[in-house]
Amino acid sequence: MAPTRSWKARCTEPRRPLCSFLIPLRLEPFFQQRLQQFGGLAAYLNHLLLHAARLHDLYFIPNVERVTRKYQRPRQQLQRYKARIPGDTWTILRCFSGGHGLTMCHMFVILMRLDQAGELDTTEAAASAVPARVSFLQKIDLADRKTRRKTRITTCRAPPH
């Protein structure tokens, strides 16, 4: 058996990278309303990610079986928004979208559409469960030449305020 190579990196830089989001023009009014309600893009993204595990369990989020990640449909008049997002939040979005075979912008738009449709559970019990660990694994089995992805989200109860 060949030796395995693994590494650990404690990536913390940059702490708040400049990130781009592509929002379809027809969702822009709802998006602007949510930005005002949450006080910015970083807070809204965090809110969406708190509910992502439940939405995943209910099969609301598609699992794209492609080798490459799926982009948003063309000709949607995508509007670019830039924001400084905490590195841990950005990594959660990257793991979650990668596990579903979607680009990060596409995953954000899907979560936003589910929010607009009222699918986010806003009960106190659901809001108190926060992601403790998010992991993403992508592998290929060379025997059958299939790429497999897996996302695991472990939640814990948030400490009382």
Q: Are 16 and 85 in contact (CB under 8 A)?
A: yes
C-alpha 17: how far from chain center: 16
Residue 26 neighbours by CB under 8 Å, 6+ apart? 76, 77
Instruction: Give the model confidence (pLDDT) of 104-140 as tens digits.
Output: 999 999 999 999 998 886 665 555 556 667 788 888 8
Output the DSSP codes for 5-53: ---------SSS-EEEEEEEGGGHHHHHHHHHHHTSHHHHHHHHHHTHH
Largest CA-CA distance found in the chain, in angstroms, rounded = 56
Instruction: Give the model confidence (pLDDT) of 85-114 as tens digits.
Output: 998 889 889 988 988 889 999 999 999 999
Tell me the β-bridge partners of 152: 135
